[in-house]
Structure 1
């Protein structure tokens, strides 16, 4: 197997939203290794005594899959059926082994649709999903698909750059409910040197 960089990761959550009926969380499942990419699990739980209707993005519970910084990280839902449904492709996005020593997406062009999906959660109900942490080689994907570079991101696309990578989610109540909450919540995924 090619030598590569297999760093450890940590996840730091924002403070829980105050006066909101939910418990949100992200936890590390595993670090990068020569055999597998890093993986995290996100959760969203209704902690109230009443049903709550929540507007989620295309992936539940968290749809912000690209880091906000220039770190080129992407979080791919680990469930293959969710990948097919959300990204509209049968192509393998998550590789079976590192590509030239880097855990990065396969050279597949995929887009996350900007949709809002409503889901009603019973009291105590929890939604969880696992996400595979990968480098997103946008320039290579554009070259392979013959698309044009139009991003404002840096062209420095080093694999799994050390540092802090921020992800932020927005949630809103169902339109036909008496709930008045709406909030953002986020977390930081850190990659060690």
Structure 2
């Protein structure tokens, strides 16, 4: 995405237009998929010219990446911290169940599941979609990995590969729940999500205490 300096008098207008474009693109991608969505359709739905769309995004794959990022990423505060992740300031026994609930609530949301279906359906024809999607998803693992690395010394953990441990936690969280929701078998309710987060936390803490990394 192209950007403008904060002191640019058109910056706020540009941001509003960008938001409109991303929102219109999300609805279009979810409605007809990546392959069948044109930039002209997105421009029309957003109420902007095609030239404006390309002023913000170099192409459809970059716009799709922005849609994924907007739908799936936690917003960042002024210092780069993830402002809506209160668990980051808590000790592990409190933070990890909270992190698990947050992760599952996001990844099992109708919007994220629908975007994942778009990626898996159209990636064979548009191989750039997979890396775009994975890049955004890896942000979550990175946040958790940094958290584990930060607490390792005070907790007495030996964590040679924090990202690997974070990925393990994510895998334990999503086991069977994600597939069930993705395939429309069922969507876990809040109680089941909380129970899975507690169970995965217990498993992860056991691994961390054992020194497995």
TM-score (norm 2): 0.24
**Larger-Rg structure:** 2
Greater share of residues in helix: 2
TM-score (norm 1): 0.25
